[in-house]
Structure 1
Amino acid sequence: MAVELLMMGNKPARELLETVRVAEANGYDTVWIADERFYRDVYCLLTFLAANTEKVRLGPCITDPFVRHPAITTVAMATLDDVSQGRAQLGFGAGVSGFSQLGIESRKGPTAMREAITLFRKLLAGGHVNYEGEVISFHNGELDFKPFREHIPVHIASNGPLGQRVAGEVADVAIMAGCGSAAEVRGFKGEVARGAERAGRDPSSIKLTARLNTCISDNAKAARDAVRVSAARYIASGPMKMNTLDEQGLALPAEALAKVAGLPYTTDPAPYRELLPLITDRHVDACTLAGSVEEVAAHVAELRAAGIDSFIIAPYAVEGGSPMDTILRFVNEVWPAANGR
């Protein structure tokens, strides 16, 4: 079991480092930096953090096969692994951030993910590589340095069944965002298992991670309100939409969804505010971790029992509070309670 932290590159590097050092000192296993356009460069930040920390694992969450060629991603990750002395791990997905601004068209996302990770592993293994896939190709090249490790762990993130099957085929860990209910875990676990079985792998060898916006406060209502608009985004947004809304009785009316249909991708949930009157606490609890320490600990324990191995929290704050409150309370209060300690 691992407790992991996701941070955005929208803060100055030294401010991020202060937070990461606190996270490391308090027992977080991993710190992820979001590869979002157009925040501070993810690999510059990760290298800076690696040079100024000692044990926390580090990686991009989530990079993709289109903005950078997978061979360039391999070079960046191998360099990060060198600087960190073996603490790098790759978070990978089909991508969406910045595509419209950069004129990038996503093509065969699940296939591109599979091919990118195949190339990533071939290059890390050393030697000359020729690779010709449907989407990704690399001609007659190799890394011109010896990687610190020949195997860097791969975490594949997807909220869609095809991407989740790819995770089962080629990843060490599968990640699902907004995976906050036992029903969603069951579907996620099943798709990963299908991919693993198709590739001749043991499904139990692929760990499952829930990536959840998180807010903890003694005022449980304030904590849920802090993440409510982000819940609206998960419930209504195509790339991140959950798969069991109908099963859970949480689907929003078609006329409400039509109001936000076609919105461009953004990390800002503000465009979804008009859906807030429809977002109940049940909606919030289905795709976030929010509430009191006791409530969040019970929620974590429920997801663990359903099959989740690790949690990536993106910390939120109640009005007048700080995300650091959530960072510290999750690892020092929620995590021990959820694990019976």
Structure 2
Amino acid sequence: MRLRIFTEPQQGASYETLLTVAKAAEALAFDAFFRSDHFLQMGGVDGLPGPTDAWITLAGLARETERIRLGTLMTAATFRHPGPLAISVAQVDQMSGGRVEFGFGAGWFAEEHSAYGIPFPTSARERFDRYEEQLAVITGLWSTPPGESFTYEGRHYRLADAPALPKPAQSPRPPVLVGGTGPKRTPRLAAAYADEYNVPFTGVEDTAAAYERTREAVRAAGRTAPMVYSAAQVLCVGRDDAEVARRAAAIGREVEELRTNGLAGSPAEVVDKIGRFAEIGTEAVYLQVLDLSDLDHLELVASEVAPQLR
């Protein structure tokens, strides 16, 4: 089981804070450092010092880390045009020496779009139509052989004789992650474009059902390439009940709610729940760390949880 650190900087984190967490995660041998891609805080916090851009952040981290993989859960298709986004991600992949993973979603948080003047199609169908075209464009640009051009004619995006440069360091492309629990279109898009399918913040039984829908889509598509199945869960681990309660309070959550809806409790409890995810085919767990000042939280997982999962 690969353990990956997943942060939510829109809740309040500077680049320096993210760098500190990423370096700690690398030193503690976590597999990856991921961040969300949002421009507005959620849940009543002040969000200070304000948002940071996901790909600018990852570009900086690419030059200041050495081993750890870097990515997004999830870059929003509504934020950027697919051609420039393909260029940005390919460049960060080069800057990292081939350590980037591209989590990509349709976009959903209307308020952050209105706050920063970003167009937001109110129809979910249109957002997914645009998202599907963006997946085709971005993966098409990356996979076009050097020296050849890429042309695409879609309803929303049209590219004419793009040189399809630069190329990512990873060949044919960085891993693409598609996630969510949509019953039909999400599994189909994952089967068509993704290397990894992620189910966020869902219990074991519902995660298993979502995996099965995607496995069926993979079979229906006649796909032979492997698919990685992963999950994201909020983290709240403590050496004793008092430490668990302190960490839950720090993120404004209740312990019992976190035990139900996340990975909470003692190291043994968390190992047991991760084991249940492993039984349904989960290969990687993204540990949502909400208190980025609590580096001891990461150390506890690295020393008392991770060794039991190897």
State TM-score, norm by structure 1.
Answer: 0.76
Amino acid in the other structure paired with 2:142: L
Whether 1:95 aligns to 2:110 is no
1:174 is paired with a residue of what secondary structure? strand
Query: CA distance change for structure 1 residues 316 and 174 in 2, over 3 Å: closer, same or farther?
Result: same
Shift of 1:5: 0.8
| Displacement after TM superposition at 1:131 (Å) | 1.3
Q: Please state if 1:24 is matched with 2:40.
A: no
CA distance in 2, matches of 1:75, 1:132: 19
- Is the counterpart of residue 148 in structure 1 residue 119 in structure 2? no
Task: State how 1:45-124 maps to structure 2 within 5 Å.
Answer: 45-97=57-109, 98-101=112-115, 102-105=118-121, 107-108=124-125, 109-124=127-142
TM-score, length of structure 2 as denominator length: 0.83
Q: Paired residue for 1:331?
A: 302
* Paired positions, count: 287
Local SS of the residue matching 1:43: helix
Amino acid at match of 2:32: T
What is the CA distance between 1:179 and its match in structure 2?
Answer: 2.6
Shift of residue 297, structure 1, vs aligned partner: 0.8
- In the alignment, what sits opposite 2:283? 309
Task: Say which SS state the counterpart of residue 39 (structure 2) adopts.
Answer: coil
CA distance in 2, matches of 1:185, 1:8: 22
- What's the CA shift for 1:118? 1.8
Residues 134, 327 of structure 1: CA spacing in aligned structure 2 closer, same or farther, 3 A cutoff? farther
Letter in 1 for 2:222: G
State the distance in 1 between where 2:167 and 2:182 align.
36
Cα offset for 1:287?
Answer: 2.5
Moved more, 45-54 or 94-103: 94-103
Residues 1:187 and 2:209 aligned together: yes
Two-structure CA RMSD over aligned residues (Å): 2.6
What is aligned with 1:254?
none
Structure 1 runs of 4+ with >6 Å offset: none
Change (3 A) 1:56 1:32: same
**Is the 8 Å Cα contact of residues 165 and 194 (structure 1) preserved in structure 2?**
no
Q: Contact 1:131 / 1:139 at 8 angstroms: preserved in 2?
A: yes
Structure 1 residues 127-149: Cα deviation after superposition (integer angstroms, max 9, x where no partner) = 32221234443333233434423
Contact 1:227/1:316 (<8 A) preserved:
no
Q: Structure 1 residue 100: deviation in Å?
A: 3.6
| Cα deviation digits, residues 45-82 of structure 1 (max 9, x gap) | 11111101111111222112221011121111001011
Which residue number corresponds to residue 150 of structure 2? 129
Tell me the amino acid that sits aligned with residue 166 of structure 2: F
Q: Which moved more, 1:324-333 or 1:39-48?
A: 324-333
**What secondary structure does 1:89 align onto?**
strand
User: Kindly tell me: are residues 144 and 322 of structure 1, through their superposed partners in 2, closer, same or farther at Cα, counting changes over 3 Å?
Assistant: closer
Matched, 1:160 2:179: no
Residues 322 and 296 from structure 1, CA distance in 2 versus in 1: closer, same or farther, beyond 3 angstroms? farther
Separation in structure 2 between the aligned mates of residue 336 and residue 85 of structure 1, nearest angstrom: 28
Residues 65 and 116 in structure 1, CA contact (< 8 A), matched pair in contact too = yes
**What is the rounded CA distance, in whole Å, between the counterparts of 1:94 and 1:229 in structure 2?**
31
- Superposition deviation, residue 198 in structure 1: 2.7
Name the residue aligned to 2:199: 176
Unpaired stretches in structure 2, ≥5 consecutive residues = 41-50
Compute the displacement of 1:316 (Å). Answer: 4.2
Find the residue that maps to 1:159 and give its secondary structure.
coil
- How far the C-alpha of 1:218 sits from its partner, in A, is 2.5
* Counterpart in the other structure of 2:240: 219
SS at match of 1:165: helix
Output the CA distance in 1 between the equivalents of 2:270 and 2:276.
Answer: 10
**In structure 1, the residue corresponding to 2:177 is in which secondary structure?**
strand
Partner SS state of residue 290, structure 1: strand
Output the CA distance in 2 between the equivalents of 1:210 and 1:337: 18
